[in-house]
Amino acid sequence: MELSLQNRLLQVPLFQGMSKNELTQMIGQTKLHFQKFAKGKVIRQENDVCDQLMFLIDGEVDVITYADDRTYSVEERFGPPYTLQLEHFFGLTQRHTRTFVAHTPCHFVSIGKNDILKLTDDFIIMRLNLFNILATTAQKAQRMPWRHKADGLRQQIVRFFEERCSRPTGAKTVRIKITQLAAELRESRLNVSQELNRMKAEELLSFTRGIISIPNLERLRG
C-alpha cells in the first residue's frame, strides 16, 4: 500500500519531480488524512471552507458548478490525479466554488494548510510546482476576456461551454433550458434550438429537456 500510495502521489502535479526518497521523507514528516467516500456521497459543497488540499488517489468524482443565479449548471467527471481547487487554498476567497460528489467509491489523501506551508519550505520542487500551478491558473483567467470573439452561433455555443468548464476536454453535462441558453447568448430560442439540432445530427452532443450531454468537448471545436 505504501508503494502504491507513493506512485499515486507522484502523479499529482504538486508532487511531480520529487524523488521517491523525497516523497518518503515527506510522508514520514506529514500528517496525512485518508478519507473514503461512498458512491453518491457529497465530498465538498460549494461555499465549504477550503482549509486542506484533497488529492483523489482512487475512484471518480463528479464536479458540479452552478451559475450565480442557479439557472444552470455544468457537470464534469474526473479520475486521479485530481486535486480539489488548489487555487482556492489561498487568496481572498478560501472557499470551494464547486460541489464535489463521489461518482464511484473514492479515496482521498488530504493535507492541512500548515503542513502544506511547511512542506513548501522544506521541498523546493514542491514550492515551484505550487507557484507554477497558481500562475498557470491566473494566466488562463487573465487571458480569457482577450480571446478573439467567437464567430457564428455554433462557436458562441462552444465558447459558452468551454468558459464554464474547469478543463476544456472530456465529457460534460450542462443542465440548462434552451430559453436560458438563448438568453445567455443573446440569440433567439429558435436559432439556438436549430444549431443544437445540427450538432446533435453530427453526433457532437445530445439533448433532452433541460439537459445537454457532450461526450467530448474537444470535438466541438472541430
User: Is the domain 2-62+77-144 a CATH 3.10.129.10 member?
Assistant: no
Give domain limits for the chain: 2-62+77-144, 147-221
Res 221: pLDDT? 82
DSSP for 31-82, written as a single string: --EEEEE-TT-EEE-TT-B--EEEEEEES-EEEEEE-TTSS-EEEEEE-SSE
User: pLDDT tens track of the chain, all 222 residues?
Assistant: 445 888 999 999 999 999 999 999 999 999 999 999 999 999 999 999 999 999 999 999 999 999 999 999 999 999 999 999 999 999 999 999 999 999 999 999 999 999 999 999 999 999 999 999 999 999 998 888 888 888 899 999 999 999 999 998 999 999 999 999 999 999 999 999 999 999 999 999 999 999 999 999 999 987
Which is it for the CA torsion 147, 132, 95, 77, positive or negative? positive
| Domain spanning 147-221, CATH class | mainly alpha
Question: Pick from 28, 85, 13: which is nearest to 51 by CA?
Answer: 85
Predicted TM-score of the model (pTM): 0.92
Res 147: pLDDT? 83
- Cβ(48)–Cβ(95) under 8 Å? yes
Residues 6+ apart with CB under 8 A from 79: 56, 59, 60, 61
Res 1: pLDDT? 41
